[in-house]
C-alpha cells in the first residue's frame, strides 16, 4: 500500500510539474505588443489660439496699455496715425507669434531700437507686464504658458528699459 501511495504521489508530482512546464512554455511564446504613443506638447502659440488668438491678445493688450494711466502716454501718439498704429500692432503680433512657436516672421526692429528714446523705467515695465497678465488671465491662458511668456519678457527687460 505504501508503494502504491508513493507511486500515486510521484505521478501527481510529475503531472503537476509538467503542467507548470506547459505554462512556462505558453508564457515564453506569448508575445506582448506594446504601442508606443508619442505625445507632442502644444506650443504656446497653439495654446494661445494660433494667429487669430495672438491677434486678439495683442489688440487687447494694446487696449489695456491705452487705459493704463501710468503708460498710456507712450501709446496714445501712435493712434494719431491709424496706418502706423496698425503697423505697430502687426509688428507686435508677428513678434509674439514668432516668439511663441508660430511660423510668422518678425521683421521689425530689435527691442533696444524699437524702444529707443522712450526712457522706460522699471515702473513702466512692470505696468506693461501687469497689463499683459490681466489680458492673459482674461483669456484663460494656462499658468505654464504665462510663466514662459513672463520669462521671455523679463529676458528683454534690459533691452527695453532706459533706451
Please, what are the domains in the chain? 46-160 (1.10.490.10)
pLDDT tens readout for residues 130-145: 999 999 999 999 999 9
Q: Which of 105, 80, 81 is nearest to 94 (CA)?
A: 105
Write the burial class of residue 161 (CB in 10 Å: 0-12 exposed, 13-18 middle, 19+ buried).
middle
Task: Give the rounded percent of residues in the chain with a pLDDT score beyond 70.
Answer: 79
3-state secondary structure of 108: coil
Task: Give the separation between CA 70 and CA 20, rounded to whole angstroms.
Answer: 81
Task: Give the separation between CA 38 and CA 118, rounded to whole angstroms.
Answer: 47
Which pLDDT value is given to residue 15? 55
pTM for this predicted structure: 0.74
Which pLDDT value is given to residue 36? 75
Which pLDDT value is given to residue 18? 60
Task: Write the CA distances from 8 to 16, 17, 80, integer angstroms.
Answer: 12, 14, 105
Amino acid at each position: 500500500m505504501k508503494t502504491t501511495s508513493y507511486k500515486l504521489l510521484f505521478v501527481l508530482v510529475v503531472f503537476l510539474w509538467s503542467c507548470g512546464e506547459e505554462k512556462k512554455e505558453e508564457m515564453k511564446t506569448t508575445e506582448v505588443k506594446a504601442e508606443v504613443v508619442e505625445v507632442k506638447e502644444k506650443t504656446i502659440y497653439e495654446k494661445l489660439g494660433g494667429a487669430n488668438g495672438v491677434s486678439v491678445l495683442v489688440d487687447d493688450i494694446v487696449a489695456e496699455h491705452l487705459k493704463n494711466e501710468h503708460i498710456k502716454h507712450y501709446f496714445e501718439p501712435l493712434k494719431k496715425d491709424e496706418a502706423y498704429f496698425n503697423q505697430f500692432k502687426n509688428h507686435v503680433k508677428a513678434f509674439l507669434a514668432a516668439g511663441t512657436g508660430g511660423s510668422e516672421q518678425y521683421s521689425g526692429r530689435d527691442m533696444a531700437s524699437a524702444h529707443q528714446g522712450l526712457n522706460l523705467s522699471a515702473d513702466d515695465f512692470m505696468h506693461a507686464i501687469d497689463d499683459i497678465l490681466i489680458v492673459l488671465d482674461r483669456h484663460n491662458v494656462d499658468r505654464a504658458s504665462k510663466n514662459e511668456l513672463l520669462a521671455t519678457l523679463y529676458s528683454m527687460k534690459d533691452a527695453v528699459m532706459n533706451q
